[in-house]
């Protein structure tokens, strides 16, 4: 890799070349005005000369700007968390729910990743923490979902169930009819629906409603995977957050809850592997909050979890790059695409640990590192 450009220095005309993924073809791009071009620019500075080029990484489930779910958004934290993602090569975030709607500058300023948001968390009373989500009754839920999707630019996030203790195991999920009508309404206005589901009943309701993405899916019945693949419902298993959920299980005081969680968690890796085999779009999301236990910029760890499920290394990598970008409507490396890319000295498919140390991160045509 050439090292003649200081991280953070603005470059009007850059040149990168290497093996592009997922095409596996040798590629040479020039960068001007924040976009890739295949037309040579004689005065460009070479910043990547060899190695592997990937479309910018994606964390498809993260919650920057607060240290706990539902805390008021802190602009300073939001900016810091965005930079932490970007330093790790994550140039695109999907933020499926927050306490407040994200400010317009987040996702637009040069030192921040691009952002797909989903407005405020939505649920009926009793799902998610009181005061931390927008709680409405079942009859008002579809209207609220349309409102959040419009305010966010397309997505909304809904809780089909909520399990943080024994009582959640017996609570009925959001009725299928309510979730189906909500999804129909959001789709009709051109939006998309992400659904939190931990239990088998919650996941079944989400799949029956043909939502766009199923978040977590601990209790998902494998028999539903073929239907998910047919209708395009993605699975975001968020392995990273379950590393810390064991603490919740231990401190719950409920042996039934601990047993449920441990059994569901043990089923998750085989479920993800089966989902990939069935053709379900699997996406990498960390469910990070910026705490010491769930810091931002750790999507590389989520990719390793996916690969260990197992998924093929290339598929696990795509879940945090080209596959996720396509699902969210963003291009990969091509002529006239946005100049968002990450470069590695070694092929990350042969050693996923390489993802932790990108040789170059370029975002909006600017060298980040």
Q: What is the pLDDT of residues 247-264, one digit of tens each?
A: 877 877 788 988 999 999
Q: In the prediction, which pLDDT does 330 show? A: 97
Q: Is the pLDDT of residue 195 over 80?
A: yes
What span, in angstroms and rounded, lies between the C-alpha atoms of 199 and 176? Answer: 14
Identify the bridge partners of residue 50 per DSSP, sorted by sequence position: none
pLDDT level of residue 33 (50, 70, 90 thresholds): very high
Q: Is the pLDDT of residue 346 over 80?
A: yes
Q: Is the pLDDT of residue 162 over 50?
A: yes
Q: What is the pLDDT of residues 102-124, one digit of tens each?
A: 999 999 999 999 999 999 999 99
Alpha-carbon torsion angle 298, 300, 305, 308, nearest 10:
-160
Give ranges for CATH 3.20.20.140 in the chain: 57-327
pLDDT, mean over the chain: 93
Give ranges for CATH 2.30.40.10 in the chain: 13-56+331-367
Its CATH architecture, for the domain 57-327, is Alpha-Beta Barrel (3.20)
Average pLDDT of the segment spanning 351-369: 96
CA 194-304-327 angle, to 5 degrees, is 35
Identify the bridge partners of residue 158 per DSSP, sorted by sequence position: 122, 195
Residue pair 306/271 in contact by the 8 Å Cβ criterion:
no
Q: In the prediction, which pLDDT does 294 show? A: 86
Q: What is the pLDDT of residues 286-323, one digit of tens each?
A: 999 988 888 999 999 999 999 999 999 999 999 999 99
- The residue that leads in pLDDT, 223 or 256, is 223
- The residue that leads in pLDDT, 111 or 2, is 111
What span, in angstroms and rounded, lies between the C-alpha atoms of 77 and 73? Answer: 8
How many residues are present in the chain?
Answer: 369
- The residue that leads in pLDDT, 314 or 3, is 314
Phi, psi for residue 75 in degrees, rounded to 5: -55, -40
Q: In the prediction, which pLDDT does 8 show? A: 46
Residues above pLDDT 70, as percent of the chain: 97
Which residues fall within 8 angstroms of residue 210, CB to CB, at 6 or more apart?
A: 180, 183, 231, 233
Residue pair 321/8 in contact by the 8 Å Cβ criterion:
no
Phi, psi for residue 338 in degrees, rounded to 5: -55, 140
Global confidence as pTM? 0.95
Q: In the prediction, which pLDDT does 6 show? A: 45
Q: Does domain 13-56+331-367 have CATH number 3.30.390.50?
A: no
Q: Looking at residue 15, what DSSP letter applies?
A: E
Average pLDDT of the segment spanning 68-92: 93
Structure tokens belonging to residue 326: 């396509």
């Amino acid at each position: 890799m050439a090292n003649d450009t200081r991280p953070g220095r603005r470059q009007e005309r850059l040149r990168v070349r290497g093996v592009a993924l997922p095409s596996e073809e040798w590629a040479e791009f020039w960068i001007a005005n924040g976009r890739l071009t295949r037309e040579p620019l004689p005065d460009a500075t070479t910043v990547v000369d060899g190695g592997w080029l990937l479309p910018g990484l994606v964390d498809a489930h993260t919650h920057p700007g607060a240290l706990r779910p539902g805390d008021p958004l802190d602009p300073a934290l939001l900016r810091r968390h965005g930079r932490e993602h970007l330093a790790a090569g994550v140039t695109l975030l999907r933020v499926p729910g927050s306490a407040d709607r994200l400010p317009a500058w987040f996702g637009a300023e040069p030192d921040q990743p691009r952002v797909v948001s989903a407005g405020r968390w939505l649920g009926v009373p009793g799902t998610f923490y009181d005061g931390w989500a927008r709680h409405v009754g079942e009859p008002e839920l579809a209207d609220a979902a349309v409102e959040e999707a419009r305010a966010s630019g397309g997505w909304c996030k809904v809780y089909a169930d909520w399990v943080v203790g024994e009582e959640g195991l017996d609570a009925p999920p959001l009725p299928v009819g309510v979730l189906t009508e909500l999804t129909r309404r959001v789709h009709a206005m051109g939006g998309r629906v992400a659904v939190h589901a931990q239990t088998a009943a919650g996941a079944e309701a989400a799949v029956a409603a043909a939502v766009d993405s199923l978040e977590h899916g601990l209790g998902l019945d494998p028999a539903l995977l073929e239907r998910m693949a047919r209708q395009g419902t993605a699975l975001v298993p968020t392995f990273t957050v379950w590393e810390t959920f064991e603490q919740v299980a231990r401190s719950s005081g409920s042996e039934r809850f601990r047993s449920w969680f441990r059994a569901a968690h043990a089923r998750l890796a085989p479920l993800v592997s089966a989902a990939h085999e069935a053709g379900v779009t699997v996406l990498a999301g960390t469910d990070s909050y910026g705490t010491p236990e769930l810091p931002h910029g750790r999507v590389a760890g989520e990719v390793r979890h996916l690969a260990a499920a197992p998924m093929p290394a290339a598929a696990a990598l795509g879940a945090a790059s080209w596959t996720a970008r396509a699902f969210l409507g963003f291009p990969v490396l091509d002529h006239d695409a946005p100049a968002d890319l990450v470069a590695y000295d070694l092929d990350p498919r042969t050693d996923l640990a390489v993802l932790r140390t990108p040789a170059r991160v370029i975002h909006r045509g600017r060298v980040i590192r």
